[in-house]
Amino acid sequence: MWRARSADRKEGRIGTAAAHPPRLECNKLQATRGAARLEPRLTAIKAGGDPRPILDDVTTAHWHLREAAEVARAQGVDPALGLDLDEVRTRARHHGPNELPTAPPRSLAALVAEQFRDLMILVLVGAALVSGVLGDWVDTLVIVLIVLLNALVGVVQAWRADRALLALRRLAAAQAVVLRGGRTHRVAAHELVPGDVVLLEAGNQVPADLRLIESVQLRVDESALTGESVTVGKQTAVPAGETGALGDRVNMAYKGTTATQGRARGLVVATGRSTELGRMAKLLAEGGWEPTPLQRRLSVFGKRLALAVLAICAVVFGVGLLRGEPPLLMLMTAVSLAVAAIPEALPAVVTVLLALGARRMVAVNALVRRLASVETLGSVTWVCSDKTGTLTQNRMRGEALVEADSGRWSAAQRGAPAASELLQAAAQCNDAQAAPGAGWEGDPTETALVELAALAGVDRTDLQRRWPRIAEEPFDATAKRMSTWHRGGAGEVVGYTKGAPEVVIPLCEALRAQAGARPLDRAHWLQLAEAMAAEGLRVLAFARRERDAPAAPGDTTGLQLLGLVGLIDPPRAEAAAAVRECRQAGITAAMITGDHPATARAIALRLGIVQDPGAAVLTGARLAAMDDAALAACVREVRVFARVDPLQKIRIVRALQAHGELVAMTGDGVNDAPALQRADIGVAMGRGGTDVAREASSLVLLDDNFATLAAAVREGRRIYDNIRKFVRYAMTGNSGEIGVIFLAPLVGLPLPLLPIHILWVNLVTDGLPGLALAAEPAERGVMQRPPRPPGESLFARGLWQHVLAIGLLLAGLCLGVQAWALAVGDTHWQTMVFTVLTLGQMAHVLAIRSETTPLWRLGLRSNLPLTLAVLLTFALQLATIYLPFLNPVFHTHPLTATELALCIALAALVWVAVEAEKAWRRRSAA
């Protein structure tokens, strides 16, 4: 119906019962007879009868397929009056509060307990206990301090992540306006029950799943639930055609979405867990956190190492007894060797590396919820990204227009479009309102049209003053068009119509040009509209006509086509660069969205996810027809998935994982949450994302910047490289220590080291130098190499060969200096073995900073913490040799200058050997 234009045009806003008596002005529902038929059942319920025959039906019916009157009957409510308070209390007892279950915050005790579930930590605790029983309190203290440091860092990081997410959830409590007993009430959203009549207006968040019974120009932003960036026009009639997708159910409004325009009434048909939002929560509850690749690798490493250490220590203890060594000494040696063989600094180094990585990520607005997820990003082989709000800006923008005289303008061109009547129509046939500060607010499509007109110099405020609106025909989801009428200063009346091209163009009688009307080739303009839609644009057609007075509702005679305007949710400026960097790193980027296939393909083409304009798009309908085997056969050939639902997103992730891919899933909506949790790493948006998505993720991008993902991949690869460097360093040193103790008796040499020597070497070498490896910068080309296979061992790519070879070399150098000193009668042989073993590991840690780049190219200043740690270790070793009060503690003797020079020279051979290995790697790679 036409509505007169007045200064108080917003009187339709829902407020009180007096301002809005309970009558239905648009799509009016006649439910009186239905309410009368329900009276016997309502009377029985009020008398204490069982409400479940009505209420259980609430959670099972397909409400969008049922007429509004039928829904009211099933709900047992008169829409003109709403539920009475007694009925509300009855239903509240049955259904519970309208809220989703949330996990209680983790207690401090739980956070601490989580830090002691790792096998390596438990082995260390056992080693500390054994050392304490044997009276070795120094080593016990060292191990305890390392374990506590690891636990402290992990607890602090988890606590900070929990607090940050709690702050994100502390928004104003949702409210709802309901009709109860014929009067309107404002209540907390969690108090709603099925059957409540809810009043919506622009700006409200939908508090429950509603079957609409009245809709006046209502448009709803459902992007958080469906992934659609365009708001959805709502109506009350049962939709025709396919209604499987939530976005097609135009007579429903779902919990968690937002009304952007108009007003409406709806019957609550689902609350809490029964809502579509609740279904997402159920999917999340059925999921669970999968261990990260790093956790799996460290777990396997810890188990194998524990068994190997126990076996070696048993052999050493047994061989020592057979040689006649004192049992207590051999027991102390075996325990010391066990402590030395276990890289107890590894958990601390891994935690520090991950914590430093998390700190770096916070600097670029990324919150790490699970420390191990930082490293996981360095392992991913596929990034499956949601489109709306993640790759795109989640706001519409005028992208192109076509008019009779000037041809097509595109945003890709330089400059602004020329002002024309087409843009005047876009500004006038528009309900966007000026925002309090600057810009415009309202439906994203309409704000985009006003901004496009302003870009061409069209002053909408001045235009409205000169051509005020005198009448309007609101947008109708069935007619797919809206019209406005404006009166000029001379009394002339002009009407503008906008709508879907397939609706407006056939209604037009001519083409409007500057010189006047021209013949209209409808087929040509329809083809233009289809071509623009194929580019991913949302296309609107505009027409005009002149009359003495506004036409009657539904009268479309005299329309002249002004042209077409194409809108798009534009890609983020930085997203294309991030996609390109991921591709260079060997990571496949794919788009998984609930949006239209043409739009998804167009955005993917712009971002470089696909290069072929005709690239295949797998839709949700086709995917639903596939079994798991068929999906697995084609999933790695597709880069764009459109019109998919949450369960299908999980199927896609699982199909990729079945091929051995390590999958990262990014998203911001409720519909993304189950897939975020099921993926190897979920990355949620913190600013525009939903709480559900953030709870399901391992990483939260606080600024919603997709480019941060590329930075996270780089950081993850750096962290894993540095973990491998520490394992290479620690295990090589440990194998050298084991070799010295194990091989000496076999070659007829006395026990070369005492337990205090082993524990000291273990302390000074695995301590500061090992931790300083956390500061090692990323190697050159870290983002130009392919991701490592998800199942790759920590010892892959030659690491275990390096550990054995260099460990044997170090052991051979120690035993060689021992044999030489004994042969020449040098009584300082044990001190020399002790010194070669310590300094050899310092030479080794400097050489392994890169697997290919020589030390002289890296420079000692590129990792100052490591350089300082090596110098400090060297000074401490000299202190054990040359400070008299330490000689009896460590059973050492001052070395002569010649003896010290020999020890330094032998240790330097380790550095030479590693640099030779790196040179061989460079030649092999070339």
Q: Rounded distance, CA 106 to CA 900, Å?
A: 55
Cβ contacts of 717 within 8 Å, gap of 6 or more: 378, 585, 778, 782, 783
Q: Rounded distance, CA 538 to CA 400, Å?
A: 10
From the list 566, 625, 623, the residue with the least C-alpha distance to 599 is 566
Q: The tokens 């797919």 sit on which residue?
A: 480
Relative to beta strand 440-441, strand 433-434 is: antiparallel
Residue 561: count of CB within 10 angstroms of its CB = 28
**Buried residues in 683-713 as b, exposed as e (16+ CB within 10 A):** bbbbebbbbbbbbbbbbbbbebbbbbbbbbb
For 585, 726, 857, the CA distances from 850, given in Å and listed in that order, are 19, 11, 10
For 604, 747, 812, 825, 839, the CA distances from 744, given in Å and listed in that order, are 65, 5, 10, 18, 20
What would the DSSP string read from start to end of 844-861? HHHHTT-SSS-HHHH-GG
Phi/psi of residue 213, each to 5°?
Answer: -115, -10
Residue 137: count of CB within 10 angstroms of its CB = 11
Q: Rounded distance, CA 650 to CA 635, Å?
A: 13
Angle (nearest 5°) at CA 883 between 880 and 889: 55
Query: What's the chain's length in residues?
Result: 926
Residue type, 335: V
For 125, 134, 142, 242, 475, the CA distances from 129, given in Å and listed in that order, are 6, 9, 12, 67, 76
Q: What is the largest CA-CA distance in the chain?
A: 122
**Buried residues in 849-875 as b, exposed as e (16+ CB within 10 A):** bbbeeebeebeeeebeebbebbeebbe
Q: Rounded distance, CA 1 to CA 876, Å?
A: 90
Which residue out of 78, 118, 136, 386 is catalytically annotated? Answer: 386
Number of H helices, E strands in the chain: 34, 27
Phi/psi of residue 304, each to 5°?
Answer: -65, -40
Q: Catalytic annotation on 431?
A: no
Active site residues: 386
